[in-house]
Structures are given as structure tokens and as C-alpha cells.
A and B are shown apart, each in its own frame.
Chain A
Amino acid sequence: MFSRSNSRANNPRTRVATLLAMAAIVWSLPAQSQVLSDTIKIPDFLSATAARMSALKLPDTVQVHGFATQGYLNSTGNNNVFGNSNQDSGTFGFREVGLNASVQLRPNLLISAQGLHRHAGLGSQDIRLDYGVIDYKAYSGENSQFGIRLGRIKNPLGFYNETRDVAHTRPSIMLPQSIYFDRSRNLAMAADGGHIYGETRTSKGDFFYQFGVVMPYVGGTTTEAALLGSDRAGHLTSQVSYIGRGIYEYDGGRVRLAVSGAQTNVNYNRGADPALLSGQLQFTPIIFSAQYNAERWSLTSEYAIRHTVANNFGVALPNSATTGESYYFQGIYRFTPKWEGVIRYDVLYTNRDDRHGHAYAATSPATRDPHSRFAKDITTGIRWNVTQSFMLAAEHHYVNGTAWLAPLDNPGVSSPVGHHAQHWHLFAVQGSFRF
């Protein structure tokens, strides 16, 4: 799986062809033409094509949706985010395109799948099946329901993980990196397996729950780089893992509280790796989430502890058990339904027992940088919902620390040799369309 997705992604012709095909499908869909024509002006020939295509009416149980996002990033301090953002001209290398279809075969049976292309630095340049799910609702009563999902299922972690690549669902261009760090996103995004889910509605609020037994997705080079420091000669294999989330919503979602967690098990098969032995990794994040929604403003906070255990990798990577800690506070203010501002303080500690990396660096000051073990990010941003389908956003990050920078885009990021500045700025702009 690993090598297949990689070789496909590395073939530019396949990539371009798939993108073109996606674009062609997107532009020709009837649902699209309707949404488009009454929201934004599109060139006449496209309207005409769309109008012709809408003769092919989809049954009303079928829906097609999609999104396309283009970003621009510029950063300082020799620190790269989503590509070579540190160069003077910044980078336009951040792109997300997704297309999904769903069929409600019966009221209790839904089948859906989404294809996703994401370009964001060296680690993430592939096209993949983002999810493919059969959802059977076994019971649906007046106040509760219960069902089962099978297939490739988005991981229910925190408030944002399941739709983390859809710009319209993010509170900012970049999700709070302390919890939704993009450097190990492949592991976090989706997993193959089965989930049970349900909800119970009471006069005191609604309860939602979900629990899954899955095989995590370990393809791509980023996961390896994030877990083992670089893209190594061996490869990762997924093991049976567990994931779950419970949400409580009061008064139509005015107050939302959630607890989510996972136990992710991954093995490393050393292959020809000269340094590491075949070892095991266990990653256990637990996330507490809270949100208050008013008409003009929303306050959100999430706190996560992440326990990571590495065993049997040999002398080059001694057995270890570390607990990381993350949290953020975020406020969104809607000046009008079209204009909103966001402000956030986001903190990541790789090891809560050594928050500022002093102990980490002390053992080998020449190769270990203390500020690669934390990151405190003050984000301010603005978003303009130009139409219901199209939005523009801009934001600024002032970051102290380099803990969430991707090693593939930032060689030597954990070492002073890499000259990655502790205090740095990131500016980002994004346009996104969805239907």
C-alpha cells in the first residue's frame, strides 16, 4: 500500500490527469451548476456546459460534493510550513482538492466515498481514497439511534479531525497544530475497520458516541518521518488499534463537550535499515474538547495528552515512554455573517515532564535543540465568506518554538545545526470553493 500510493503520487502525469478528471467532473455536475449559477458568476461556456449536463439528472438519493483550496504561505526563521514557505517569495504549494459522492440506498443505508488530493510540502503530495464507508443504521427511534459503519472511516478525534482538509470547516487556515499537527496527519486522518455509533436525545441535551476497531493508515513518508525522525529504509505496518469519541450537546449545540481518544499501534519492519531494529510504537492521544456558540461569537478550547511508547528499536532509539501535552483557546467573532475574525493561543509540549526541552538538549547540546520540543503559537486571522460557496481567509502566526514543524520540509529541525529560529512568523492566505 505504501509503495503503491507513493509511486502513483510521484508520477506527475497521473497526478495531472486525475486532477483534470476531478475538475471535469466537478464542473459538469448538475448539483454544481445549480449552486454555482445562483452564487457566483462563471464564464458563459461553463454555464452552458453545466446546463447541458444537468439534463443528466441524478436521483435525489445521490449527492455529489467537493471542495478546492489554494493557499499561499510565507514564513521567517528558516522554518518551512507546507512547502518552501521560507523563501522570499513564499510558496503557493498548498493545495487541497476533494470530491465525494454518497448514495442513500435506503433511509437506513448510506454509502459514501471521497477522493482527496493534497499538496502541502514534501510529505503530502498524493491522491488517495480519503474515506469509503458503508453506514447501516440498525435502529432509529424517537429519541435514539444506533448504527454501524464499515470501510475507511475518518477518525473521530476532537472537534475538527474528520474534516481537517476542508477549508470551510476549519476555524482558520491552519488548524491548531498542537493537536491537529499536520506532520503526522496520515496516521490521524482515517483508518480501515468498523465503528459503532449512536445518539440519545434527552430534554437535558443530546449525546453522541462512536467507537471503532481499526487498522491505522501508515502509508507515505510523513508518518515515518514524524515517528522515527526521517524516511527510513524499513517500513511501518499497522496493527489493530482502537478509537472512540463521546459528545454532549446542550441546547442545539450552544454548549458542546467532547472526549475522544485512540490507542494507535504501529510496528516498524526494519528491512535494510542499518540503524534501527524492528520495533513497536504505541500512540495514545486523549482529547478533551469544549465549545460555546453564540450568534456573534464562539469560544473553543481543546486539551490533549498524548502518550507515546517506543520499544525494541535497539541502541539507536532506546525504549522510551513520553507524554506530550497540548491545548489551545480560540475565539471567533462574526462581525457580520460574511466577515469573521479568529484569535487563538495554541501550545504544544512534546514532553510534559520536560516542557522546554532542557533535559532533552542537555544530553547532547550539539545535536539537540531545546526549542524543537515546544511551540506556542499566537494566531490572528480574518475570513470573508464571499458567497455560501466561496471564501477567502488570511492569518498571521507568531510562534515561539519549532515542535510541530515537519522534518521532511525542515531537515535537521531538532538540531541546532539546522538553524531553525525559535521565534518566527508565518503569514498565510487562502481561497476556497466548496459545493
Chain B
Amino acid sequence: MISSCCRFALLLILLLGMLSTIGVARAHEHYEVVVNANVTARSLPSNSLRAIFGMRQQTWPDGMPVKVFVLADDAPLHSSFCKEKLSAFPYQLRQAWDRLVFSGTGQAPTRVSSSEEMFDRVTSTPGAIGYLEKSKISERINVLQIK
């Protein structure tokens, strides 16, 4: 009886431990939302970010046109970004873009095939926004804080 109680307690501690590490992992994401160096905004509310990646918001607060870059729907980084920053799943974003593109009410984001291409396109396109692993970020690109 006592030993089973001990085992249960041990299991509970292990589970809680796992949950807390997951929490820590989520709190320290391995990527950032990045923008072209000419974008003056330094932070953005999360629902504005959602509108930008939902292709419904075409301008920055200062009026400059936004250019959105994304990885493929099944890229792990795209999936993490959707879930953690937009609180949506990749399939929902795809559905939203398809609704715009095939009803004539909007355009799709530009797809890039790798983080290297993401870096190149975001650094070379005025008004660009994308996401990038922290290890690939340099001073040539700005990080946007999401509130």
C-alpha cells in the first residue's frame, strides 16, 4: 500500500517535472519574428500579427506596405510559429489564404524554401516580415517583439 503510494507520488513528480520543462521550452522559443531593417515598428500586438499573417493587414503602422514571407505548410518552424505566435494551426492559415486568393479578396504570402532564403528575402525586401531561428539572426535584420 505504502509502496504503491510512493510509486504514485514519484510518477506525479515526474509528470509535473515533464510539464514544467515543456513550459520552459515554450517560454524560450528558438526563433523570432523578424522584419526588414527599414521597418520602424519594434513591437506589435498579437492580433495585428495575426492580421498580417492572415494577409488582411497590408500596411505597417507608419503606412509602409507589408511583405509576408512564410515557409512551407509542413515546415516544423512554420508550425511552431503558427501555434505559438498566431495561436492557429498551419491548416487554418492555409484555409484563410485560400479563401482570399480564390474569392478575389486578397493575396497569398510569398513562400520561401529554407531559413537561408527567408533571411535573404527579409533582409532584401523593404517592409518584409518573416520568422527565423535565433542562430540565424544577425544585425542585418530586426527582431519584432509580440505583445
Contact = CB atoms under 8 A, between A and B. Distances in A.
B99 A162 contact: yes
A388 B72 contact: yes
Contacts, number: 110
Interface stretch (B2-10, B49-57, B135-143): B49-57
A337 B91 contact: yes
A162 B103 contact: yes
A144 to B, nearest CB: 10
Interface in B102-134: 102-108, 110-111, 113
Contact of B90 (A153, A254, A337): A337
Q: Interface range on chain A: under 10, 10 to 19, 20 to 34, or 35 or more?
A: 35 or more
Interface secondary structure of B, over-half rule: loop
B87 A169 contact: no
B67 A60 contact: yes
B61 interface: yes
Contacts of B101: 63, 65, 100, 102
B102 A102 contact: no
Contacts of A149: 105
Contacts of A140: 57-59
B33 interface: no
Interface residues of B, number: 40
B86 A163 contact: no
A432 B9 CA distance: 54
A293 B57 CA distance: 23
Interface of A: 35, 38, 60, 63, 65, 67, 98, 100, 102, 104, 107-108, 110, 112-114, 131-133, 135, 137, 140, 142-143, 145, 149, 153-154, 162-163, 166, 168-169, 199, 201-203, 206, 251-254, 293, 295, 334, 337, 388, 434
29 contacts: A35-B111, A38-B113, A63-B101, A98-B102, A100-B104, A102-B101, A102-B104, A102-B106, A110-B107, A112-B104, A131-B103, A131-B104, A132-B104, A133-B104, A140-B58, A154-B103, A154-B104, A163-B98, A168-B98, A201-B50, A251-B87, A252-B86, A252-B87, A252-B92, A253-B92, A295-B89, A334-B91, A337-B74, A388-B73
